[in-house]
């Protein structure tokens, strides 16, 4: 089993302690640093080079979204999962647009946290259909890019038939294992296809991919 080094960023010491307790219940996650502000989260990410940052949205200095943008710009290999008490579409949209790989509502059960984080780290976390649908709605509510609204459709047209099949299944909320079973291919093959699809569509994570799938494929 892989072992992941984690930085926890939250301005509440009690919240950081709660997250640490949750992660201590899993042998594959080790908290290597704690930050109480956006700037401190960025500094620790640069110093410690963690595998994962759990980032609260609302923090002093600058918020978790700005910290996420900075870390993903300078250290794209670091996975970031946003922590929030809210599951509103706008917050979720902003988190994903900033480059976060996931979004955790703090009220989830500890066992759900661990299962979800393992999925994020292993690129196999399914995106619930309702989450993808909310993202699509939020994307469509944003102003169209200067180049016009046809770019996503044109990019999807460059995908192979197999890549389009996988994109459609991601949009339906299937995990890598479920996609592999449906298409009679291995999970590793699915992961390789997903890397190629995200490169072609210029997307950063699976949640963006699910939203794009539902947007252009229906």
Q: Give the other-Cβ count within 10 Å of 135's Cβ.
A: 23
Element at 192 (helix H, strand E)? helix 187-201
Place of tokens 């046809």: 150
Q: What is residue 122's predicted lDDT score, i.e. its pLDDT? A: 81
Q: What is residue 131's predicted lDDT score, i.e. its pLDDT? A: 63
Spatial distance between the Cα atoms of 72 and 66, rounded to a whole number of angstroms? 10
Q: What is residue 153's predicted lDDT score, i.e. its pLDDT? A: 64
**Residue 214 pLDDT more than 50?**
yes
Q: What is residue 36's predicted lDDT score, i.e. its pLDDT? A: 96
**Residue 68 pLDDT more than 70?**
yes
Element at 6 (helix H, strand E)? strand 4-9
| C-beta separation of 201 from 194 below 8 A | no
| Structural domains of the chain sorted by starting position, each given as residue range(s) with its CATH number in brackets | 4-121 (3.40.50.2300), 131-216 (1.10.10.10)
Spatial distance between the Cα atoms of 126 and 207, rounded to a whole number of angstroms? 9
- pLDDT (tens digit per residue) in 143-153: 544 444 445 56
Task: Order across the sheet with 4-9: list the strands.
Answer: 29-35, 4-9, 52-56, 79-84, 102-105
Q: Which residues, including other chains, have CB under 8 Å from residue 198's CB and lie 6 or more apart?
A: 204, 205, 208, 209
Cα 170 versus chain centre, distance: 14
């Amino acid at each position: 089993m892989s072992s992941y080094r984690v930085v926890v960023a939250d301005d509440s010491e009690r919240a950081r302690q709660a997250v640490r307790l949750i992660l201590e219940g899993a042998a594959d996650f080790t908290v290597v640093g704690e930050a109480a502000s956006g700037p401190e989260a960025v500094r620790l990410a640069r110093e410690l080079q963690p595998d994962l940052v759990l980032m609260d949205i609302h923090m002093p200095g600058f918020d978790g979204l700005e910290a996420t943008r900075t870390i993903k710009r300078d250290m794209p290999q670091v996975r970031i999962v946003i922590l929030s008490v809210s599951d509103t579409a706008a917050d979720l949209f902003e988190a994903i647009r900033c480059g976060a790989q996931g979004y955790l509502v703090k009220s989830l059960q500890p066992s759900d946290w661990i299962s979800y984080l393992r999925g994020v780290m292993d690129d196999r976390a399914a995106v619930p259909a309702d989450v993808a649908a909310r993202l699509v709605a939020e994307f469509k509510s944003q102003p169209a890019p200067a180049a016009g609204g046809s770019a996503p459709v044109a990019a999807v047209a460059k995908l192979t038939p197999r890549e389009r099949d996988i994109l459609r299944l991601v949009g339906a909320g299937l995990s890598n294992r479920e996609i592999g079973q449906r298409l009679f291919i291995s999970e590793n093959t699915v992961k390789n296809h997903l890397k190629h699809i995200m490169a072609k569509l210029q997307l950063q994570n699976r949640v963006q991919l699910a939203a794009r799938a539902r947007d252009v494929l229906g």
